[in-house]
Amino acid sequence: MSNEKKVRAYTNIALIKYWGKRDEKLFLPMNSSLSLTLDSFYTETSVSFEDSTEGDVFYLNDALQDAKATQKVSRFLDLFRQEAGITSAAVVKSTNFVPTAAGLASSASGMAALAGAANLASGLNLDKTTLSTYARRGSGSATRSMFGGFVEWEKGTNNEDSRAIKIDEASWDIGMVTIIVNDKQKSISSREGMKNTVATSPFYPSWLESTSVDLANIKEAILAKDFEQVGMITESNGMKMHATMLGANPPLSYWEPDSVRAMQAVRNLRQSGIPCYFTMDAGPNVKVLCRLSDSQKIKDYLVQTFNPEQIVISGPGKDLEEISI
C-alpha cells in the first residue's frame, strides 16, 4: 500500500501511578491511574503493510532493529492484522523525539504512536478510546498517551473497557520539569519490578486501597483547578509507590544519589514559595509538576545542581495526532 501516514504520540507521566498487573497477557492493571501528557517527549511512527515474503521490518531512529525488538512490534501489529484480516508484512519507521541528547526513551509514546499508525495503515479507523485498549497491550502506560492533558486509565473489568479517558485538557498553567538523573538502561525492568512488588510487598494491598482514594481526590482537585492539591496528591502517591517497592523482598529501589538531591531541591523551591511537587517512576529521574509559568524559574534554580541539558521543560501534550509527511 502507498498511503503511508505518520502518527505522533506524546509521552505521559503518571501522577497516580500504575504499578502491578492483574493480567500479564492483556496488560490489565491492578488499579486505575492518571497522568499528564507532555509536549516535549514524543514519538512519530509510520506503518505500511506491503506484499512481501519477508517478515516485518522495524526502523527506530533510522536504524534497522534486531529480531527481538522487531518481534515485539510484530506481535503488537498482529492485533491489528487479525482484526483487519491483513496477512502482509509491515514496514515500521519510528523516531523518538527528545529535546536533548540525554535520551529518555519512552515505551508510552512509542507504543501509542505504533498503535496510531497501525490503526491508519490497517484501515480499521478505531476511535481513540478503543485504540487505547490496543495501545495498552503494547505497554500499559501507552494507554494514557492516546490523549493530551490529564488522562485516566480506567482499570476496567476486561480487555475492552480497560481504557483511557480524558479528564481535563490541562490548559490552565500546568507544566512539568524533568530532571534527567541517568538515562542508562535500568537494571530491573518495570515489568519485573512490579511483578516482585505485587508478589512480596506486604504494603501492596494498602497501596491499592490508598491509590483509589488518591485517584478520586486528584480528579476532584483537577476539576477544581486546585494546583497545590493536585501536587500534594501527586507527590504522596509517587512516594507510596516507591514505598511498596522498598517493602518488596528483596527491597527494590530505583533511586540514585542525584534522585535524592533533585527531590531536596524541589523541597527547597517549595519552601521558597514556588509551588512544585516531585514524582518518580521506575527509574532514577525526577519529574517536577509545576505551574508552566514557574518552569523557567525552576530550571534556573536546578542548574545550580544539574547540567542544563539534564533539565527539560514540558507543557501539556496533545492527543495522538496524524502528521503530514
Question: Which residues sit at the interface with a second copy, rule CB under 8 A?
Answer: 202-203, 205-207, 209-210, 232, 235-236, 239-240, 242-247, 249-251, 253, 255-261, 263-264
Q: How far is CA 215 from CA 14, 115, 147, 195, in A?
A: 11, 26, 18, 22
The nearest distance, CB 189 to a second copy, in angstroms, is 18
**Cell numbers describing residue 127:** 476511535
Segment (H or E) for 145: none
**3-class secondary-structure state, position 221:** helix
Q: Are 90 and 47 in contact (CB under 8 A)?
A: yes
Amino acid identity for residue 134 in this structure = Y
Q: Which is nearer to a second copy, 174 or 245 (CB)?
A: 245
The nearest distance, CB 233 to a second copy, in angstroms, is 9
Give the separation between CA 44 and CA 145, rounded to whole angstroms: 13
The nearest distance, CB 203 to a second copy, in angstroms, is 4
Eight-class DSSP state of 316: B
Give the separation between CA 245 and CA 108, rounded to whole angstroms: 21
**3-class secondary-structure state, position 33:** strand
Give the separation between CA 48 and CA 6, rounded to whole angstroms: 10
Q: Which is nearer to a second copy, 11 or 197 (CB)?
A: 197
Eight-class DSSP state of 105: -
Q: Which is nearer to a second copy, 95 or 206 (CB)?
A: 206
Q: Which is nearer to a second copy, 235 or 294 (CB)?
A: 235
The single residue listed with the C-alpha cell 514524543 is: 42
Give the separation between CA 146 and CA 52, rounded to whole angstroms: 30
**Cell numbers describing residue 101:** 541528547
The nearest distance, CB 261 to a second copy, in angstroms, is 5
The nearest distance, CB 15 to a second copy, in angstroms, is 14
The nearest distance, CB 152 to a second copy, in angstroms, is 21
**Cell numbers describing residue 277:** 511537587
The nearest distance, CB 282 to a second copy, in angstroms, is 15
